[in-house]
Amino acid sequence: MPTLYSAQVPAGYNTANTGKVSWEQAATKATKVHSWLPYIVSGPLSDGYRVVGTIGALVHVLFWVMSLVMDGLLVSRGDYGTAAAGMKLSIFSLVFTLIGFVTLLVIVITHVATSGIKDGGIPPFLLTLVTGSVKITIGLVLVLLVAMMMAVGYDASGHTDPMHAWHEQRWILLLSFIAKIYVSDALASNIQYSGSYDN
């Protein structure tokens, strides 16, 4: 029986179209190294994309810190005029932000202390604690924004001014809202990017 011609394809080339392998294919074929952060903080970093993953992780962590700082400022200022519920809502927002952040820290410590958490390997109840806490704080900040816009304050001349009651707090609330939206979307994006757990 005649021997069919066979050729060896150089490493780094795709046999289908003899073109170079894309960076996504090369990354999946490469030996995966243990990432120092779990996929929930930075999906690309957990897949070995060091530059993009590190930038994503840094921005993600900075927005967590910004969210905590803004909530702390809201609680420390406590200037809500007649809106006594405002302080309670601010405290609840800070508490839920801390619950989410501490849960995320526990996940990171577990990842570092063990052989690493595989993509999709974080238990759903922990994911819910992190993502759910952030969503609750988004709702609380929205309620605070609406309540403060409706509160009545007084300007320098003593006339009624609805905007005066929340003028000092509005930027803190808006920055808190922006930080929480970013954190929520970053968590969702990293979870979606990493996919479900695969043995």
Q: Which has more confidence, 197 or 84? A: 197
pLDDT for position 132: 95
pLDDT at 197 over 50: yes
What's the pLDDT band for 187 if we cut at 50, 70, 90?
A: very high
pLDDT at 158 over 90: no
- This prediction has a pTM of 0.73
pLDDT at 5 over 60: no
| Nearest residue to 83 via CA among 8, 171, 148, 175 | 148
Percentage of the chain modeled with pLDDT above 70: 69
pLDDT for position 139: 94
155: left (phi over 0), alpha (psi -120 to 50) or beta: beta
CA dihedral 7, 12, 18, 19 (to 10 degrees): -170
pLDDT at 176 over 90: yes
Contacts of 168 (CB under 8 A, 6+ apart): 77, 79
Q: Which has more confidence, 81 or 198? A: 198
pLDDT for position 178: 95
Mean pLDDT calculated for residue range 50-60 = 91
33-37, 53-57, 78-82, 169-173, range with greatest mean pLDDT: 53-57
